[in-house]
Structure 1
Amino acid sequence: MIRRLFDALGPEHGGALRRLLGWFTAAALLQGVAFVLLVPALRELLGGEPERAWPWVVALALAWAGYAAVNHPATLIGYRTCADLLRDLHGRIGDKVAQLPPAWFTADRVGGLGRLASQRVIDIMGLPAHLLRQLVDAVVTPLVVVPAMALFDWRLAVSTAVAALAVAVVYRVASRSMQAADRDADRVHADAAGRIVEFARAQPVLRAFGRTVEGHAALDEALKAQHAAGGRMLRAGMPGIVGLGFIAQAAFVALLALGTYLVLDGSLGTAELVALLVLAARFVEPVMLLAELGGAIRVAENALAEINALLGTETLPEPEVSRRADGADVELDDVRFGYDGAPVLNGLSMRVPQGRITALVGPSGAGKTTVIKLIARFFDPDAGTVRVGGVDVRDMRTEDLMSLISVVFQDVYLFDGSILDNVRVGRPDATDEEVYAAARTARVADIAERLPGGWDAPVGEGGSRLSGGERQRISIARALLKNTPIVLLDEATAALDAGNEHALRQAVAALAGQRTVLMIAHRLQTIRDADQIVVLADGVAAETGTHEELLAADGHYARYWRERSRAAGWRLTRRDPVPAEN
């Protein structure tokens, strides 16, 4: 566990943690020496010449004074290290999260990350100030007590060593079962937390289908599983607590019985027995405390393992020297990529010319959004190359690549702030005039006029106070404000009405000749005026050309266009009721 704590805190805190362990070890050694000095002191006090005990009493007093002098700063350093741990560990987790590729953040991982950064950090907060001290005492005390007993009676020393070995075995076995139960409970707790959030967000759907009484079955099952996991943790922890306590008490009783037998046999004096039993009691005390704190220690061990697993997660490799893009064209060369072994792109080659609007169309699941994520380097292709400005994106640092690209996704997330704050996310150092200009181009001014508070109106968590189309417009305004040479639009008009979609088309058209635009849209009317249309099918670029050229080719795009045109003409008609049979 101590090694994992070093890994979690990082090399910059390694020296401080080693010094803390040194203080704890010194305090435990001095305390052990003080208890050892009790043996000759008591032997002389209970003997025929008590005045001979003075040297031992003085040595004992000096040992306790040394212990007090070491224990006070050790305690203060422990609490200070605890505060540093809380601050810096959150910082390390935050820095790591910022380095992870966006593709890492799946729904299950996001839920687990929230628990990791909150509950799991709290689980290990007590390590430097409290739990680590108990672990050091539990290890150092037997190392002092057992050799000290051997100086006075080897038989009691051997018996104590056997008891120490039995305690170590029981603790090891109990730790394994407790850690397994804690890992299972952590997984169940994370799932339950996700289900609670899902239940809250799904209230409109649940109520629409009359599911207000029986609730959400998935949540009910998750809560039952959480309760069962708590019971399993209790059952897994109790044998260790009871077992360690039993071994400790049994060891003390055995030492007492053995010592009494030796006294009656005449091979051990009564004074020595009393003194040695004091040492035995000192051996039992940290073991009993370790049994009480064993569950917390094992939970902390699991928490450290999970945090270190996150900190050890591989990120996308970054080049030591970032290459500079020459232009703003985008090219995919024989790119292959898949999810969990299922191929999506099978040798895709396509080019997005600089300063032109390229539209990407194809059926659902064809890999259109995957193309955008590969260009933004949310992940790397399994094979092939993605180039921006003639440079492989893997040869550019993430900040350099993202300084060239603005992305607008279909699913928009807004922060719990004002309209103006959410637009400014695109470029925090932008002037107010630049923010307003981008917002007006994306028709965000209409939203500000509608809400009380105008531009300072809060949008709610995730943009809950706005409609889907309004959230989409703010997201587009962010991209416009960022003012990058490359703009990637993934179904940016999906939630817009006809009027706002027309306004967006005008804004995108204004970008032509200034920015490289790659846009995905299922509404073909949105992309018919694009300079180039690429049709994805079977993981490759099946067709490339303008709207008129692709219609004339009578291929995938033409069939897709005809299907969409027929769908656009669908109408709801009134059907006469069927007369009832007599």
Structure 2
Amino acid sequence: MIPLLLRVLGHEYAGPVRRTLALMTTTAVVEGLLYALVVPVLRALFGREPADAWPWLIAFGAAVAGYAALRYRSDLSGFRVGTTLLRGMYHRLGDQLARLPLGWYGTERVGQVSVLASRGLLQAMSVIAHLLGPLVSAAVTPLTIVVVLLAVDRRLGFAALLAVPVVVVIQVRTGRALVATDEERHARDQEAAGRVVEYLQAQPVLRAGGRTGECFGMLDDALRDVHRAARRSMRSTLPGVVGLALTVQAVFTALLVLGTYLALGGAIGAAELLAALVLAARCADPLLSLSELGGALRSTRAELARLDAVLRAEPLPEPREPIRPDRHDLTFDAVTFRHGDRTVLDDVSLSVRQGERLAVVGPSGAGKSTLLQLIARFYDVDAGAVRLGDVDVRAISTEVLMAQTAIVFQDVYLFDGTIEENVRLGRPDADDAEVRAAATAARLDEVIERLPGGWSAQVGEGGALLSGGERQRVSIARALLKNAPVVLLDEVTSALDPVNEAAVQEGIERLRAGRTVVMVAHRLRTVRRADRIVFLDGGRIVEHGSHDELLARDGRYARFWGLAAPILDM
């Protein structure tokens, strides 16, 4: 597990971990050697002059004090390194997740990363503070005591040494037997967690449809699967626990019998026999703890493996010598993009002049949102190139590209904080006047005035305490504050009521001014003011031109408009 841990941590953290591991190993060896002083103490007590034991007792007390200081330093080092690693790994994981393409985030992966970023990472990094010390002690201290036993009496030492391969075999076989059950239990836990979240989130729909009993049955089945997986895991663990306990007990009994035989034959003294039994008894506790530690190790190793898989996932490559564009026009040059086996965009060529407002329309699944995502380089194209100015977006650093673009999505996510904090995400160094001006332009000031707390009002996780229209106004204010030269709008008014739609549309008009704009819309009334319209279908551009030109052609756009016209007149 140590090589996996060091690989996950990276080179910058490997040094402190190795030093902590060396300190823990030294502490465990000192603990084992400490018991060597029991031998002269017992010899003196059983000898002619029991008072001769005092110097050895004093030495033993001093050694215990030294060991206590070393153990304190070792444990403290483990806690400090563990805390540092946890903080550092959160940053490293966050940076990695920010670099991964959106295509990496499947439905299952979002749940996995959610668990990994909370419980998983905490468990993986706590190995340094809570698990590594006891593990080293359980392995190294008994081995050191066996060496001491060899020094006391080679026959007793070799008898104790025979237990080492038996313990190793038991631990290895138990670990292999539990790999499959541990994976199954983890999968069942994830399934049950997903069912719980699904059941809670779907309450309005389930109650409206009268299907609560059916869905609860699905949740109940998932929880029963967790119970069955836990029972199988416990049954798989039992042979290893019992086997280890019997091995330790058998070795201790063998040492007792052998020592008694040697003592009765005069081969060793009573003091040596008692010392050997004390040492053997001291080996028992750490050896028996290996069963508990083994389960924790397997669980931690599994979390480390999952963390390693995320950290080793290939992010979008950054250019070695990034180029900064000096213009803000956009070009799609024979772009092809595939998602799995499906071709989303097929040989698309398109140009958007600087300051032009382009609207992209078409049926669902035509590739409209993908067009925006390729501009922001959420994905890399499979063929062709997307250019900002005359620079391929792959040659622009992520930081510069994000600074050049402001994106407003249909589904707005707000972080759990105040309204002001969420607006300031657009430009954290903006002064108060700029933040207020952006809010006014987005008509967010109307929302702030009626909320208790005003600018300090909490929005809740994901913006749950605000309505959809209010969240969209925050998003537009954020984009206005960012003041980027390229604006990408993705269906921003498709699910709003008339009042919020009017407010959001006004904010969008201000956001468009003087910028290169690419907007995706289902509501065709929002595209009338676009300089040019592109009709996308099946991943290809089938028509392009102004609103009036496309209506005059009486093609796909005109038919779309004809279907939408009765709705627009309502």
| Fold in common (TM above 0.5) | yes
**Partner SS state of residue 162, structure 2:** helix
Q: Distance in 1 between matches of 2:436 and 2:167?
A: 70
Determine if contact 1:485/1:516 at 8 Å carries over to the other structure: yes
User: 1:341 maps to what in 2?
Assistant: 341
CA distance in 2, matches of 1:261, 1:228: 50
Distance 1:133 1:544, change over 3 A: same
Structure 2 partner of 1:555? 555
For residues 221-241 of structure 1, the C-alpha deviation after alignment (integer angstroms, 9 at most, x for no partner) is 333333333333333333332
Q: What does residue range 133-152 of structure 1 map to in structure 2 within 5 Å? A: 133-152=133-152
Q: Report the Cα distance in structure 1 between the residues aligned to 2:493 and 2:302, rounded to whole angstroms.
A: 46
Which piece of structure 1 moves more, 77-86 or 534-543?
77-86
Specify whether residues 120 and 561 from structure 1 end up closer, same or farther in structure 2 by C-alpha distance, changes over 3 A only. same
Partner of 1:189: 189
Structure-to-structure mapping, 1:351-500, within 5 angstroms: 351-498=351-498, 500=500
SS in structure 2 at match of 1:337: strand
Paired position in structure 1 for 2:307: 307
Do the aligned partners of residues 296 and 25 (structure 1) sit closer, same or farther apart at CA in structure 2, a change above 3 Å counting?
same
Structure 1 position 84, deviation (Å) = 3.0
Query: Structure 2 counterpart of 1:220, which letter?
Result: D
Contact 1:487 1:517 in 2 (8 A): yes
Question: 1:506 offset after TM fit, Å?
Answer: 5.3
Distance change >3 Å, CA 9–CA 356, structure 1 → 2: same
CA distance in 1, matches of 2:440, 2:95: 35
User: Cα offset for 1:127?
Assistant: 3.0
In structure 1, the partner of 2:286 is 286
The verdict on how the C-alpha distance between 1:533 and 1:130 changes in structure 2, with shifts beyond 3 A counting, is closer
Structure 2 distance, partners of 1:74, 1:154, is 32
CA distance in 2: counterparts of 1:416 and 1:485, whole angstroms: 28
In the alignment, what sits opposite 1:516? 516
Per the TM alignment, residue 519 of structure 1 is displaced from its structure 2 partner at its CA by: 0.5
CA distance in 2, matches of 1:508, 1:288: 68
CA distance in 1, matches of 2:445, 2:151: 87
1:115 alignment partner AA: V
Give the letter for the 2:469 counterpart: G
Aligned partners of 2:463 and 2:471 also within 8 Å: yes
Provide the rounded CA distance (Å) in 2 between the counterparts of 1:141 and 1:425.
54
Q: What residue ranges of structure 2 are gaps of 5+ in the alignment? A: none
Give the letter for the 1:369 counterpart. S
Taking the TM superposition and a 5 Å limit, the aligned residue runs for 1:43-54 are 46=46
CA displacement at 1:520 relative to structure 2: 0.5
Given the superposition, is the C-alpha separation of residues 57 and 415 from structure 1 closer, same or farther in structure 2, using an over 3 Å criterion? closer
Q: Is contact 1:134–1:290 with CA below 8 Å preserved after alignment? A: no
Alignment RMSD, CA only? 3.2
Q: CA deviation at 1:218?
A: 4.0
> How far apart are 1:464 and its partner, in Å?
2.9
> Residue 556 of structure 1: CA displacement?
2.8
Alignment partners' CA distance in 1, 2:44 and 2:446 = 94
How many Å separate the matches in 1 of 2:319 and 2:248?
Answer: 57
| Aligned position for 1:163 | 163
Q: Give the secondary structure class of the aligned counterpart of 2:517.
A: strand
CA contact (8 A) 2:480 2:511 kept: no
State the partner residue of 1:539.
539
What CA deviation, in whole Å up to 9, does each residue of 1:242-286 have, x standing for no partner?
222222112212232333344456655554433333332233231
Partner Cα separation in structure 1 for residue 65 and residue 432 of structure 2: 66
Compared CA separation, residues 122 and 465, structure 1 to 2 (3 A): closer
Give CA-to-partner distance per residue, 1:373-420, whole Å, 9 cap, x none: 111111212222121122111112211101010111111122344444
Residue identity matched to 2:327 = G
1:403 aligned counterpart, secondary structure: helix
Distance 2:460 2:75 in 1: 45
In structure 2, distance between residues paired with 1:249 and 1:50: 32
1:385 match: secondary structure: strand
Look up the match of 2:206.
206
Q: Give CA deviations for 1:117-167 in whole Å, capped at 9, x if unaligned.
A: 332244346533442222222332344234444445444333323211111
For 1:448 and 1:207, how far apart are their aligned partners in 2?
A: 34
8 Å CA contact 1:405, 1:484 repeated in 2: yes
Unaligned runs of 5+ in 1: 572-582
Letter in structure 2 aligned against 1:439: A
Taking a change above 3 Å as real, the CA distance of residues 499 and 263 of structure 1, as seen in their structure-2 partners, is closer
Percent identity over the alignment is 50
SS in 2 for 1:252: helix
- Measured after TM superposition, the shift of residue 518 of structure 1 is 0.3
The corresponding residue for 1:75 is: 75
Q: Is the 8 A contact 2:441 2:510 kept in 1?
A: no
**Alignment partner, residue 132 of structure 1:** 132
2-structure distance, mates of 1:56, 1:450: 80
- Tell me: CA distance 1:218–1:485, structure 2 relative to 1, closer, same or farther (3 Å): farther
In structure 2, what is the equivalent of residue 579 of structure 1?
none
Distance, in Å, in 2 between the alignment partners of 1:49 and 1:420 is: 82
1:487–1:518 Cα contact (<8 Å) kept: yes
CA distance in 1, matches of 2:262, 2:68: 36
1:100 and 1:481 map into 2 onto residues whose CA distance is 26
Is the Cα–Cα contact under 8 Å of residues 31 and 63 in structure 1 kept in the other structure? no
Listed one character per residue, the Cα deviations across residues 45-101 of structure 1 (whole Å, up to 9, x for unaligned) are 546787998887777566545434423322332333343344333343334334434
Higher mean alpha-carbon deviation, 139-148 vs 481-490, is at 139-148
1:459/1:118 Cα in 2 relative to 1: closer, same or farther (>3 Å)?
A: closer
CA distance in 1, matches of 2:440, 2:163: 78
Separation of aligned partners in 1, 2:52 and 2:136: 34
* Contact 2:25-2:140 within 8 A present in 1 as well: yes
* Deviation, structure 1 residue 168: 0.9
Greater CA drift, 317-326 or 449-458: 449-458
Distance 1:143 1:45 in 2: 27
In 2 relative to 1, CA 223–353 (structure 1 residues): closer, same or farther, beyond 3 Å?
farther
Task: State the one-letter code of the partner of 2:203.
Answer: Q
More deviation, 408-417/418-427: 418-427
Letter paired with 1:436: R
The Cα shift of 1:116 comes to 2.1
Normalised to the residue count of structure 2, the TM-score between the two structures is 0.89
1:253 aligns with 2:253: yes
Distance 1:51 1:23 in 2: 36
Q: Give 3-state SS (helix, strand or coil) of 1:140's partner.
A: helix
Distance 1:484 1:39 in 2: 78
Q: 1:347 deviation in Å?
A: 2.0
Contact 2:472 2:504 in 1 (8 A): no
How many residues align structurally?
570
Deviations 1:295-322 (A, max 9, x none): 2233223233333333333322222332
Change (3 A) 1:42 1:315: same
Report which stretch shifted further, 151-160 or 422-431: 151-160
Amino acid of the structure 2 residue aligned with 1:140: V
